[in-house]
Amino acid sequence: MRVEETKLLGCFIIHDTVFEDSRGYFFESFNKQKFDTLTGTNTTFVQDNQSKSTRGVLRGLHFQLGEHAQAKLVRVLEGKVLDVAVDLRKESPTFGEYVAVELTGENHLQFFIPRGFGHGFLVLSETATFFYKCDNFYNKASDGGLIYNDPTINIDWKMDTSELILSEKDANQPTFEQIKDTVYFK
């Protein structure tokens, strides 16, 4: 396992060691001891989630507020997605900036997003199976979001907006300007 730091403090791209032969492949997708040592965190995941989506589906940008904030370790089991994390930690030097990582079933990359970030992904392949671990349980009352096409953040989603498939909720999220003074993470 190799950990690559991103420009956003606390966000890491995880490169797993994959063993391949004529039978297929094997890799250790998570080892708490190695993960905590290499990332300098002490993360205990309590919930696993999985979704399957078709090309153009954009899920996000989501976050949980307050005591229900969540760190996530995300990966793609099948297909290809553009995964995005937006720093919403007001005291962070990268407040309002984002990182995008292409995750595929073939590259086996994982992306760690700590608490205090908005998160979303866009399916770039015909279908994709997305899997992620959370360090806190989902709480509907603490649900928050940021509009995917916010002009301040200006995320390059690598797809024409006419191809995007959004839930009604995700199509109507507030802008960064609307939430930047009310959303607060440490």
- Active site amino acids: 62, 132
Residue 63's nearest CA partner among 31, 98, 103 is 98
Helices (H), the chain: 32-39, 168-171, 176-179
> Across the chain, what does the average pLDDT equal?
95
In the prediction, which pLDDT does 136 show? 97
Q: Which residues of 75-84 are buried (b: 16+ CB within 10 A; e: fewer)?
A: bbeebbbbbb
- Given a contact cutoff of 8 angstroms between Cβ atoms, the answer to whether 117 and 60 are in contact is no
In the prediction, which pLDDT does 2 show? 92
Residue 184: pLDDT over 70: no
Fold of the domain spanning 2-179: Jelly Rolls (2.60.120)
Q: How confident is the model at residue 180 (pLDDT cuts 50, 70, 90)?
A: confident
- Given a contact cutoff of 8 angstroms between Cβ atoms, the answer to whether 53 and 128 are in contact is yes
Q: How confident is the model at residue 55 (pLDDT cuts 50, 70, 90)?
A: very high
Task: Write the pLDDT tens digit of every residue in 127-137.
Answer: 999 999 999 99
Task: Write the pLDDT tens digit of every residue in 82-115.
Answer: 999 999 998 899 999 999 999 999 999 999 999 9
Task: Write the pLDDT tens digit of every residue in 66-87.
Answer: 899 999 999 999 999 999 999 9
Q: Where are the domains of the chain?
A: 2-179
Backbone phi, then psi, for 50, in 5-degree steps?
A: -145, 140
Q: What is the largest CA-CA distance in the chain?
A: 55
Q: Which amino acid is at 102?
A: E
CA R_g for the chain: 16
CA–CA separation, 143 and 63 (whole Å): 6
Residue 186: pLDDT over 60: no
In the prediction, which pLDDT does 182 show? 78
Enter the pTM of the model: 0.94
